[in-house]
Amino acid sequence: MIIPIKTKFIYFLPMNIPKLKKIESEKKYHDIVIKDNYSWVDQPNILEVLKDSSKLLPDVRKYIEENNSLTENYFKDVKDLQKKIFDEIKSKIKLDDTSLKFKDKKYYYWTKTEEKGNYGKSIRQVIDGSRPEEVYFNGDLEKKNCGSEYFGLGSISVSHCDNYMAYSLDLKGSEYYTIYLRNLHGNKNEKDLIENTSGSIVWSLDSKSFFYSKLDEFHRPRQIYKHVIGTSVKKDELIFEEKDKTFTCGISLTSDEKFFIISTSDHITSEEYFFPSETKSIKPILFKKREVDVRYSLDSWKGYFYIHTNEDARDYKILKCKIDNINKLEEFISSKKETVIGGLEFLDNFMIRSEKSDAIPRLFVRNIKTNLEEEIKISEEAIGCPGFSLMQRDKNTSKIRVSWESMATPGKIYEYDILTKKKKLVKEVEIPSGHNPDNYIVERIKAKSHDGRMIPISLVRLKNSRQDAKSKILLYAYGAYKHSISPSFSASRFCLVDRGITFAIAHVRGGGDLGDAWHEEGKKKLKKNTFLDYIACANHLIDQRYTYKGGICFYGGSAGGLTGGALANMAPDLFFSMLLLVPFVDTMTTMLNEKLPLTPAEWELWGNPIKSEEYFKYILSYSPYNNLNGRSYPSMLITTSLFDNRVLYSEPIKYIAKLRDVKNDNNTQLLKCKMEAAGHGGMSGRDNAITELAEEYSFIFKVAKIFD
């Protein structure tokens, strides 16, 4: 139960913690028996619930409703605080904002947000200004017309002739996208409508057709179709089908628009096909046969294919070959030790690329004629995030846009001339309520992990705060899928920082912050390195007096929720609170179910416990749900959604039920499950996103006894 304390908050004490019925279940794998009293929650038709929530088991529905009521009751005394945080976050956002314009062939294209809207507008205007601006997609109006609570926008793709727009919508959050087609001259939808797609749309050059990926029965995009405008979907041409159930596929257009590229891959292996963009008879040509743990991607420019690959180069290199001789490859950009080589963007006379070392990204530009390369330096700040984008479709230019932001500095965009090296500030992220970067310190420190690896930590804190081991800290982590966590700017974080909570990122292994080896050392039989890295970072922050034992808030979602769930079992005394958002906490059950959308492809990350006893034992040794035990756990806020197809609602539900069964503390552990339409990233719309964040922050403040 929740123990009341003497603060300005009033705790509403629930008389009864919800109970989920238990049904004894034993399953044997590799002569090992797993007992799971809540396995019945994983109903056989669970994927059908993503489309139709009426198929949810009644007892599960009742348990969710009771937990939602309990959570709502807990937050009753901080509703004013939530409103204050909501207003504070919103005051940090420029609600009426306009993006920079991109110059296409006939039109300028740009986007705009407004104070009263949640979804923004897509706008265009003919380049000569002879006609007024045209709003060709109004997100708020489209949502209203759909009559749906959830409004997930997959793609908005305008045809090359500028006359048609194809767009995809998910109206539940389960990522089953429907593609619609609109004639922009009459601004009316055509009859063309395609259901159960991945949401991606790629137009043919003649604008008479487009390509899309179809989802199979397990929600995996393994087929690519061509749809001709005005014809029945039943007549759509299947141009590619992936036979391996662990692979998924997609399609794209090369930089010079000479070829379409079909990419098919799992998490560690890829294979690419190409066919001319002008061809009438599509016959995809294999570029290079797949090899396990070899990834590559193709682009074409001025008679050459450029190949971004990790073959014999763990952190990538770039090769090239003539389009008519794909078997004769030559090295274009060599690999570098502990440096991740990024892909290329092309102008007529220049190539722009990125690379990253020590979790710090950099930008480079190469003169195609002289082959000389130099770094584009944007800021004097040592730690931050540079970026670049093209200004126009015509590649005959020396001008691009470059950007910079850091954990303390809002984003700035410059128009940069490669030839003169002059830059002109053209847009700056405005914080309406005010923000002075000089009030904060951004630091990069390193912690030694259990095996000697030095783990980077990026953090931002108040400049006038003391390192006296009295401050609380939010230590964020993810640690999977080779995903890098950039030291970027987020205005909302300063709701925490300005109240004395340091915000930090633990760049743990399993992610890609320091390259492929960093990822490899945090997956499969080395997955526990992710958790041990985090513990090392936490202890280092304690040793260096940034915080104290029990002064840390864990914040992470999805695979980051797995990290948090494992840490709750391994080192709960580090934390005063944990936020596990849509957390992957029933790892073993999911990895044993090959019918779930992501599972077969995930075996390359976690191992296949069905075929391998060794992987079975290893996953079982850290899976958060299976390792819950009779000890004290921190206060927790756990979230999920009925319509989340990436981490199914059953995982957090089973986790909270078992946690309450076995724990021996009196701390508050809450479950909030969205029963209305919502996805893996929560509810749709700007205000909904701010509302969710304000609730999460109010949980942190309430547990931390920060009475602002």
pLDDT digits (tens, 9 = 90+) for 567-599: 999 999 999 999 999 999 999 999 999 988 888
With a cut of 90, say whether residue 219 has pLDDT above it.
no
Q: What gap in Å lies between CA 387 and CA 354, rounded to an integer?
A: 8
Smallest CA-to-CA distance from 72 within 673, 667, 676 is with 673
Task: Assess if residue 14 is contained within a domain.
Answer: no
Domain boundary among 376, 408, 429: 429
- What CATH number is associated with residue 36? 3.40.50.1820
Task: Assess if residue 503 is contained within a domain.
Answer: yes
In the structure, what pLDDT confidence band is assigned to residue 7 with cuts at 50, 70 and 90? very low
Q: What gap in Å lies between CA 408 and CA 412, rounded to an integer?
A: 12
With a cut of 60, say whether residue 12 has pLDDT above it.
no
Q: What gap in Å lies between CA 125 and CA 103, rounded to an integer?
A: 10
Task: Assess if residue 611 is contained within a domain.
Answer: yes
pLDDT digits (tens, 9 = 90+) for 57-110: 999 999 999 999 999 999 999 999 999 999 999 999 999 999 999 999 999 999
Domain boundary among 288, 316, 340: 340
Are both 529 and 624 inside the same structural domain? yes
In the structure, what pLDDT confidence band is assigned to residue 337 with cuts at 50, 70 and 90? confident
pLDDT digits (tens, 9 = 90+) for 130-143: 999 999 999 999 99
- Contacts of residue 464, defined as CB under 8 A and 6 or more positions apart, other chains included, come to 439
Are both 617 and 571 inside the same structural domain? yes
With a cut of 60, say whether residue 637 has pLDDT above it.
yes
Are both 393 and 526 inside the same structural domain? no
In the structure, what pLDDT confidence band is assigned to residue 174 with cuts at 50, 70 and 90? confident
For 614-632, b where at least 16 C-beta lie within 10 A, e where not — what string? ebbebbbebbbbbebeeee
- Helices 686-704 and 79-91, packing angle to 10 deg: 130
Q: Which two tokens stand for residue 605?
A: 């990350």
Domain boundary among 307, 323, 340: 340
Task: Assess if residue 223 is contained within a domain.
Answer: yes
pLDDT digits (tens, 9 = 90+) for 467-491: 999 999 999 999 999 899 999 999 9
- What CATH number is associated with residue 227? 2.130.10.120
Task: Assess if residue 12 is contained within a domain.
Answer: no
Q: What is the pTM of this model?
A: 0.89
Determine the structural domain holding residue 389 and report its residue range.
341-429
| 707 compared with 367, residue with greater pLDDT | 367
Q: What gap in Å lies between CA 598 and CA 328, rounded to an integer?
A: 36
Are both 519 and 490 inside the same structural domain? yes
The tally of domains found in the chain comes to 3
First-to-last C-alpha distance (Å) of the chain: 26
Task: Assess if residue 2 is contained within a domain.
Answer: no
What are phi and psi for residue 35, nearest 5 degrees?
Answer: -100, 130
Are both 263 and 127 inside the same structural domain? yes
Are both 87 and 103 inside the same structural domain? no
